[in-house]
Structure 1
Amino acid sequence: MRVLAAMSGGVDSAVAAARAVDAGHEVTGVHLALSRNPSSYRTGARGCCTLEDARDARRAADVLGIPFYVWDLAERFHADVVTDFVQEYAAGRTPNPCLRCNEKIKFAAVLDRALALGFDAVCTGHYAQLVDGPDGRELHRSVDPGKDQSYVLGVLTAEQLAHAYFPLGGTPKSAVRAEAAERGLAVADKPDSHDICFVADGDTAGFLARELGEQPGQVVDEDGSVLAEHDAAYAFTVGQRRGLRLGRPAADGKPRYVLSIEPVSRTVTVGPRDRLTVAHIQGSQPRWCGPAPTGPVECRAQIRAHGETLPARAWVEHDVLRVELAEPATGVAPGQAVVLYTGTRVIGSATIAATVPAAAH
């Protein structure tokens, strides 16, 4: 099998490529240049898109003895991931850029190009497992729950999974680092990347301010009383408690949380924590990691990358995914993804468009 190994410059993708070589595949390494100005992206432990990372990927490919190339996808990444991220916050939503990168870049732009060049699969260092089931390739959780990345892969379709290759899903991260050291890979002790690769200093609010400028508005309580002024509604997210800078405490003395964000009027509404509980989720653009269900499905729903799963019942109605939670969830923000599981298997996902409070439901 001809395999294109996406090599970020980190330990996971290097070991994944090595395992593909060991399996007897014809492997070619590729590093994705995603920054218009790589020196502006994070360096050292905090990055995954720097010039240093490209050099680390090339050195790993040299150790493995495989061909290596750099693909410039900076413009596509900026349009599909960075611009989408900014626009989502401007619209009062909370996006997940890693999920969008998997959907639009690694398993759309890269996979499409790989197939056109005659490759059979794209190999990555994601911690997830692929299992051949009765209805085709299935996506399952990693055996390492602390590193499991099936949530951010929940946007992949059956066709994309058929050409994906995740060699690390059955191995704990500690064992992957040990294997990298045994193979003589210099990235064995390289720290994992964190946060958002295109936010150079880790200051998301500052990044958005530079992109969108000041957009002042008001912070109000549920009856519309003005509590404070703010510089930008996009600096808030549903469920936020800290940094609200309210002019006066609540009558009961309890903390207040962001309940909703109205981007047109730039109004941020706050209230008590119990108003954040959600019983029903509506998701747009559902995507299925296999055959789409033909009726209601009993499953578990996950709404954060490393959050808990909740028992749920899900069905599609007029192209809208409806998820009824058996236990209320707190702080569910539009723009996040809801990913559905049966056991360890990912069924599919959707982008959260709206929620129904538990009390109203």
Structure 2
Amino acid sequence: MSATLPDLNYLTGSSTNTCNLIKDREKYFSNPLFKNRVTISYELMDKGIDEVYNHVKNKSLEGKKLLVEFIKKKAAYAVFNRLKEDEEIQCKVELISGDDNAIERERILELVTKTPNIILVATQVIEAGVDIDMDIGNKDISKLDSDEQFMGRINRSCKKDGIVYFFNYDETKGIYRDDVRANKDYSLLNEGMKKILVDKNFCEYYKPVLKGIREQYNKSFSDSNLKDFFKNSVGKLRFLEIETRMELISDDMWSISVFIARELETQNKTILDGREIWESYRALLSDNSLDYAEKEVKLSEIRALLNYFIYQVKKSDIIYNDRLGELYYIEDGEKYFKDGKIDKEKLITGIGDFI
């Protein structure tokens, strides 16, 4: 169940053969345990980044869990590094972003769960599918539904008093491009949107948003409007036409998997050598002496180790040392890391833009 799930029937102009799974929405979304779980503050909305930083720093001294989200990686990295270097901050400071692989993300989330006083700086990867329970949130405003998703990471257990401080730092237009929701009129800069966020009445948010989507797409596809698209392309199962029309990610935005070879220490103090693991994987793939079941078991075991070294990179002409299928191998991975975290600047200039 999601508070931000829109009624997509509006796009088709029909409610035939559809039903609402929740008949009494207000019973759930107006319940104080959901609606009033988190207090919203706008006291930082007109403040600069230094004031936001000092606010986070001061709140960290209260011994609580803090979550700080930026909509751009550059800002997240800058604040994370500043917090790490601040000797007055006594608690742990972590950063989670799209740069982290699955193993690193798991380590961070486990640490956050176990640590009572911690600052977690994040990008938008934290908004959905991440089960953490923080006390205080600070977020750079973006799309209203994203702001609500962020609030879902605060006081999830409803055992404390949660609060979220919104601020306005990076511009959303350059990030979301043609997304109707990036319009400032549909953001927390609009008093009406603030009321919607408090009341959890997101149908009022999606009415103008979905109307804008219909107008945008009908204008973009003047020779094939939405009604015609659903009647002929969808209705007649013309899959190639549907694929073209519904494309979410263009070809130049696809990512590739890169294995960055280095030596690292796991949480249980085991030393893993990425170079040795890569060679073992190569040897196992070419070993035809094993029966199918045994080989699949061994591949499963070694792929679990591969995950410690695999990162997703935006599709580009990268310089690599080896390749197995769609997995690219980069030697001397140590130079792309700083204090155990990926050095973003070296990644962009040395390999390509990590996502």
TM interval, shorter chain, is under 0.3
Q: TM-score if structure 1 supplies the norm length?
A: 0.27
Q: TM-score if structure 2 supplies the norm length?
A: 0.27
Point out the structure with max Rg over C-alpha: 2
Higher normalized strand content (fraction of residues): 1
Higher normalized helix content (fraction of residues): 2
